[in-house]
Amino acid sequence: MKIICIGRNYAEHAKELNNAIPTEPVFFMKPDTALLKDGEPFYYPDFTKDLHHEIEIVLKINKVGKHIEPQFANKYYDEIGLGVDFTARDLQTIAKEKGLPWEKAKAFDGSAPLGKFVNKSTLGNLADLHFELKINGQSRQVGSTKDLLFSFDAIISYVSKFVTLKVGDLIYTGTPSGVGPVNIGDKLQGYISGDLFLEFEVK
């Protein structure tokens, strides 16, 4: 399986990092070794001094597809979950300045913590899904899918023009504003519509 991540998909987040609002989806990938599941602890890597949290709604692909039309995209996922797109912001800033790829900053081991999935039919209106990240009990990021620049269906359609989607692939759909550093000892908890979906510690 592969992990596809959408960048700059919430305007307020694009602005907080001084990025332009994209006119088409920005995507990058993480390898399967980035996954961190079942509440396992995340070990702070020694190659960064500025590790940032990015809480994101995650789609799980359930059907093989290429060149998927937007009106059919909703048939290619039926489970939704929550994940963190950990980012070594210091390394990413250097890569952006030099025009280099982001893999060192984004694709490292454990950089994609992932919580539970539920059937999308249980979540109500997917176009206004509320989600939140708390660190040590304090709210740090709050978002709603109503603020997505590119909808779930638009993302699936766009990405599938370039990359065949396969069963089990994951799409991290972008983070709202409020990204910031995590520290050793932090406890992260992610919620969708007030329900706990994701929980782990940084060690």
User: Site for Mg ion (CB under 5 A): which residue of 85, 153, 169, 186?
Assistant: 85
In angstroms, what is the minimal distance from the CB of 85 to Mg ion? 3
Residue 120 has a CB neighbour count (10 Å cut-off) of: 17
Sheet containing 51-53, strands listed edge to edge, beginning at the edge strand earlier in sequence: 87-88, 51-53, 180-181
Asked if 169 is part of the footprint of Mg ion (rule: CB under 5 A), the reply reads no
In the chain, count of helices (H) and strands (E)?
4, 14
In angstroms, what is the minimal distance from the CB of 189 to Mg ion? 18
Give the CB-side neighbour count of residue 92, counting CA atoms within 13 A. Answer: 18
* Conformation bin of residue 146: beta by default, left when phi > 0, alpha when psi is -120 to 50: alpha
Residue 148 phi/psi, 5-degree rounding, is -60, 135
Stretch that binds Mg ion, among 83-91, 144-152, 177-185, 192-200 (CB under 5 A): 83-91
In angstroms, what is the minimal distance from the CB of 86 to Mg ion? 9
Sign of CA dihedral 144, 163, 157, 18: positive
Instruction: Please say which residue, 67 or 192, places its beta carbon nearer to Mg ion.
Output: 192
Instruction: Please say which residue, 76 or 86, places its beta carbon nearer to Mg ion.
Output: 86
> Under rule CB under 5 A, how many of the chain's residues touch Mg ion?
3
Sign of CA dihedral 148, 153, 154, 160: positive
User: Site for Mg ion (CB under 5 A): which residue of 54, 153, 169, 186?
Assistant: 54
Are 55 and 176 in contact by the 8 Å Cβ rule? The answer is yes
Asked if 175 is part of the footprint of Mg ion (rule: CB under 5 A), the reply reads yes
Instruction: Please say which residue, 100 or 167, places its beta carbon nearer to Mg ion.
Output: 100
Which one, of 158, 203, 167, 159, lies nearest residue 184 by Cα? Answer: 203
Instruction: Please say which residue, 85 or 186, places its beta carbon nearer to Mg ion.
Output: 85
Instruction: Please say which residue, 69 or 102, places its beta carbon nearer to Mg ion.
Output: 102
Site for Mg ion, residues 97 to 116, rule: CB under 5 A: none
Instruction: Please say which residue, 62 or 177, places its beta carbon nearer to Mg ion.
Output: 177
In angstroms, what is the minimal distance from the CB of 5 to Mg ion? 5
Stretch that binds Mg ion, among 26-34, 73-81, 173-181, 191-199 (CB under 5 A): 173-181
Applying CB under 5 A, which residues contact Mg ion? 54, 85, 175
